[in-house]
Amino acid sequence: MIKVLIVEDDPMVADINKSYLRAINGFECAGVAMNTNEAMNLIKNQDIELVLLDIFMPGKNGIDLLVDIRNEYKSLDAIVISAASDMQNIKSALRLGAVDYLIKPFEFDRFRSALKKYKNEYDLMNQKESMVQDELDNQLLRQNKMMEHCESLPKGLTRETLQVVVESIIENNNKPFTTEMLAERVGVSRVSTRKYLKFLTNIEMVSVNHHYKKTGRPIHMYEVNYEKTGIIKPYLNVDLP
């Protein structure tokens, strides 16, 4: 498990980030700090591997904390989650080694994408003692290469949300599901979920059956066509699990 420290002075936002973190496999919240002094104390006394860092805080800000981290704990990773959208803060954070930068407000799928990308890189770096040049090039250029080969999506759909939708469908273990069931699992609106299901139905990755009741509208039940799951890969930035 990757141990994560959340540095956020707004208790409500900290709780949201903590709940988001719990929803992603492979991560564990090791603590929440309301300011940079609390953060440094936790970093010194616990085995922290990743910091989710706000910038605007009382006293020292998040950029100051990144400087302190680089001076004392050079290998500690950080993802900035902040309302700071000015280029000065963004450049400063990235130059100090932030591995990603999320601008508030953001959606869960963007958070999940950042954490999963980090975990993939973390696992790769910790499973190997060395790399040959080709492996390193593939890792550094992987995102760009995938983007070049991605098929275009219908207007209004994003690859990040599509990834979450597809993973949720596959993890459902071949059980039929409704739009409402999928929307609840994924955490997006029913309207948005219907758009993604329409796309997946059009490319035949999922099929829909209509169950008629004595009164009212029929219930649309969806199922995965497992022999056709490979058809989705050109539309995604990352591979399926």
pLDDT value, residue 22: 92
Could you list the pLDDT tens digit for every one of the 241 residues in the chain?
A: 999 999 999 999 999 999 999 999 999 999 999 999 999 999 999 999 999 999 998 888 999 999 888 888 767 999 999 998 888 888 888 888 888 999 988 888 889 989 998 998 888 777 777 777 776 676 665 545 444 445 567 888 888 888 889 989 988 888 899 999 999 988 889 999 999 999 999 888 899 998 776 666 788 899 998 877 878 877 775 555 5
The residue ranges of every structural domain in the chain are 2-127, 159-235
Q: How far apart are the first and last CA of the chain?
A: 17
| Residue percentage of the chain with pLDDT more than 70 | 88
Separation between Cα atoms, residue 130 and residue 193, nearest integer Å: 43
pLDDT value, residue 139: 61
3-state SS record for 70-137: HHHCCCCEEEEEECCCCHHHHHHHHHCCCCEEEECCCCHHHHHHHHHHHHHHHHHHHHCCCCCHHHHH
pLDDT value, residue 235: 78
Closest by CA position to 108, among listed 62, 168, 154, 30: 168
| pTM strictly above 0.75 | no
Separation between Cα atoms, residue 41 and residue 49, nearest integer Å: 14
CATH architecture, domain 2-127? 3-Layer(aba) Sandwich (3.40)
Cis amide linkage into residue 105, ω under 30° from 0: yes
The bridge status of strand 219-224 relative to strand 206-211 is antiparallel
Fold for 159-235, please state it: Arc Repressor Mutant, subunit A (1.10.10)
Separation between Cα atoms, residue 192 and residue 207, nearest integer Å: 18
